[in-house]
Amino acid sequence: MLQSRCSESLRVVARWALRAPRAGFASTSSRCSTQLNSPLDLDPSLQALLKDVDMSLMRAKSGTPLVAGSAHPKPIRELEVYSNLEDEDLQWDEDSSEAEGPSHRETRKSPAAHFGSGHIGSMVIPLELQNSINRLIADLDKPMLHQDAKRLFVDAEAGVWSTAYTKKYKSRQQGARHFERDGAAFASVALPAHYSAIYTVFDHVKRRLGPEWKVGRIIDWGAGTGSGLWAAAHCFQSSEQMIDRQLALSSVFNYVGIDKREALVDIGKRLLEDIELGKMNISWQKSFREGDIVERADGGDVVALSAFQLSSLPTPLARKELVKEMWESGANIIVLIDHSTTEGFENIVEAREKILTFGRKELMNPDYERWPAEIKGTHVIAPCPHDGACPLHHPGSTRLVCGFSQRLQRPDFIRKTKHSGVGHEDVGYSYVVMRRGERPPIPETKVGRTGTVGARALEKAALNAEPRKELSLVGEHREQPAVDHADGHATGATTVAEAEGTLEGLQDQLRVEAYNWPRLVFPPLKRSGHVILDVCAPEAKILRMTIPKSQGKQPYYDARKSSWGDIFPHEPKNRPQERYQPTRAKREGGTTPTKGSDIGKGKGKSTNDKYPPGFGQMKKAKKLRLERIREHARELNAMLNDS
């Protein structure tokens, strides 16, 4: 404001100076109104300066640019029409776009670390599903919907929202009265959260198995409102180039949803109304039938899915029957997902052990010797890098949960249903993905361990290893010693192009190696100069790996950029420490867990310490000073008595 006022004042003064007469100060108002003043006789350079100032102020208001040394504005350029353009010049070159590769930030990580950390940052529900849910709840009573959602998904004691649907009614009549209301509340609160977790698991498995793995059929136990259907159809698309994912463009052509909860199934059917399905065949049934079984040899494109269903079953026998049906379905891939709670984690571990037991029996049974190795037995793809017992599972006394989290961007209907202004929520889940066949052997090669950070470090080391050149006179020739550059690249792991020569070959080899990479089961602890990783190792143990800065720039950078749930390709410089939790004693009261109680935690102040460190020494010093004061007082009293 001050600058504009000063500019306006300067402009007025400049105009007045150009037009005022020499004796302008003695002129009267009547004279000014009857005749014009004669122009001032100013120096030409001053006149040019004042004219430039006046025009600059005028053009500054209008916003028109000026050409230097010209009093006229810069002419506006017009678009030129090129008539000689061909269609080939306007086509999108996919090969050139792929050749550009990932961004600079991504290439700083090694290809192996980038392969192990390709998780979804924040899940966005596709518009097709959002519009379907909005149509469902458009005509409902919104205050009633909010009350139903609170009744079903808010913990009365903790007062927090969850996505576990465990509501039981005393009679069928009471359940029928809440038929539609419960289904609508489930679709507006639990369905998006379940969708995000299922999609994340499918996306991880798709990246681990590669483009050769095609999914055509889904058998879903506990289908509910169809969260598994939407997630599978949107994840497995016919073309990965599509931005807006739709059911009609999915490679899944057959879906079988199994659920006895009629309220949820009815809502799932209503969500599919006015949705183009393409060639997909969708069927709903209350139980698994014998006609749904697929031959082992034909089950390569079949996925058996059970998402958030084990926790809703009332008895362990019902859970065992569900797992047995999934095994006997003939599906090549078995996916089990549950809530990231103690109960959900224990259900996943028990189902995992049950399926591994089925696979071991097949390998030991001579009746299955004629079967190919690809369909005989079973092994774990994710999250475990081993087929042994879970090191975090202690039946009846599990304290830590092997769970993961996926962030979901809340659509508008979730925020309104929950009466919350928060735009996101974190969905916790535990899962296991298993595949038929024996576990691939451990490869001897290690590829893709060097990215941009490591390559620059190698170049710098090779440059420093070269002998320094000495100055010599003109015409004088001195032989320089030969430099062997082979040592500069002699790292334990090859770079991107050294192993296979192509990106596809590198990805294939990384998929085989990733079966034995440890997985971060807790968030990394990033310290100054080192990173602490608590991982589930191929030895079926929880190990604490420390990646110091001295190990190398590339391993240290990859460790700094790692996240919870990643698989980490680098081996630690020092021997890792085994972390475990002691089982509780059977006597009442148990034991005080000490070793292993800090899994996933950093070293901090103990909450059981009553006094700060060094308090004992301070107390002893104070006591010693008091003793000296008392002794000195006794000596003074004795001297006074003697006198």
* Residue 302 CB partners (closer than 8 Å, separation 6+): 216, 217, 218, 219, 294, 329, 330, 331, 332, 333
**Residues 13, 154: one domain?**
no
Domain final residue, candidates 371, 402, 436:
436
Q: What is the pLDDT of residue 488?
A: 40
d(CA 58, CA 457): 58
C-alpha 430/C-alpha 402 separation (Å) is 6
Domain boundary among 436, 452, 478: 436
Strand, coil or helix: 120: coil
Phi, psi at residue 545, to the nearest 5°? Answer: -100, 140
Q: Indicate whether 56 and 145 sit together in one domain.
A: no
Note whether 404 and 433 are within 8 A (CB). Answer: no
Q: Do 185 and 55 share a domain, yes or no? A: no
Q: Give the containing element (helix H, strand E) for 235.
A: helix 227-235
| Tokens at 545, concatenated | 């790996």
User: Are 184 and 52 in the same domain?
Assistant: no
Asked whether residue 459 is assigned to any structural domain, the reply reads: no
Distance between CA 501 and CA 505 in Å, rounded?
A: 7
d(CA 249, CA 238): 6
* Residue 146 and residue 52 share a domain: no
Task: Give the whole-angstrom CA distance, residue 427 versus residue 340.
Answer: 9
Is residue 382 situated within a structural domain? yes
Residue 473 lies in a domain: no
Spatial contact of 557 and 457, defined as CB atoms under 8 Å apart: no
Are the beta carbons of 453 and 459 closer than 8 angstroms? no
DSSP code of residue 446? -
Residue 623 counted as domain residue? no
Alpha carbon separation from 75 to 55, 71, 72, 199 (Å, rounded)? 17, 12, 9, 56
What is the pLDDT, as a whole number, of residue 95?
43
Query: Within the chain, which residues score under 50 in pLDDT?
Result: 1-2, 5, 10, 13, 20-33, 66-68, 88-101, 483, 485-500, 585-595, 597, 604-612
Residues 373 and 249 in one domain: yes
Instruction: Say whether both 56 and 159 belong to one domain.
Output: no
Tokens describing residue 392: 């975090």
Which residues, in sequence order, are CB contacts of 153 under 8 Å at separation 6+?
161, 162, 163, 164, 165, 185, 189, 190
Within-domain flag for 70 = no
Q: Which residue has the tokens 């290690």?
A: 446
Closest CA to 176 of 262, 269, 284, 270: 262
Q: Is 426 found in the same domain as 281?
A: yes
> Do residue 303 and residue 432 come from a single domain?
yes
The predicted-structure confidence for 407-447, as pLDDT tens digits, reads as follows 999 999 999 999 888 889 999 999 999 999 889 998 888 88
57 and 144 together in one domain: no
- The residue whose two tokens read 């006895």 is 260
Examine residue 407 and state whether it is found in any structural domain, yes or no: yes
Tokens 């697929």 correspond to 294
CA distance 301 to 304: 10
Measure CA of the first residue to CA of the last residue in the chain; give whole Å. 90
User: Looking at the structure, do residues 189 and 277 belong to the same domain, yes or no?
Assistant: yes
Q: 44, 62, 80 — which closes off a domain?
A: 62
Cα-Cα-Cα-Cα dihedral sign, residues 179, 182, 185, 186: negative
CATH number at residue 308: 3.40.50.150
- CA–CA distance, 62 with 56 (Å, rounded to integer): 10
The strand pairing partners of 429, in sequence order, are: 339, 404
CA–CA distance, 261 with 225 (Å, rounded to integer)? 10
Same domain, 211 and 316: yes
Q: By C-alpha distance, which of 298, 362, 310, 359 is closest to 335? A: 310
Nearest to 203 by CA among 565, 506, 629: 565
Instruction: Choose among 50, 56, 55, 57: nearest CA to 14.
Output: 50
**Sequential DSSP letters for 407-422:** EEE--HHHHHHHT---
In this structure, is residue 77 part of a structural domain?
no
Angstrom CA distances, 472 to 197, 466, 481, stand at 69, 18, 15
Give residue 278's pLDDT: 87
The parent domain of residue 368 ranges over 140-436
The per-residue pLDDT for 97 is: 42
Question: 147 in a domain, yes or no?
Answer: yes
* Residue 362, amino acid: E
Which string of DSSP letters, residue by residue, matches 254-276? EEEEE---HHHHHHHHHHTTT--
CB burial class (10 A; 0-12, 13-18, 19+) of residue 485?
A: exposed
Domain count, the chain: 2
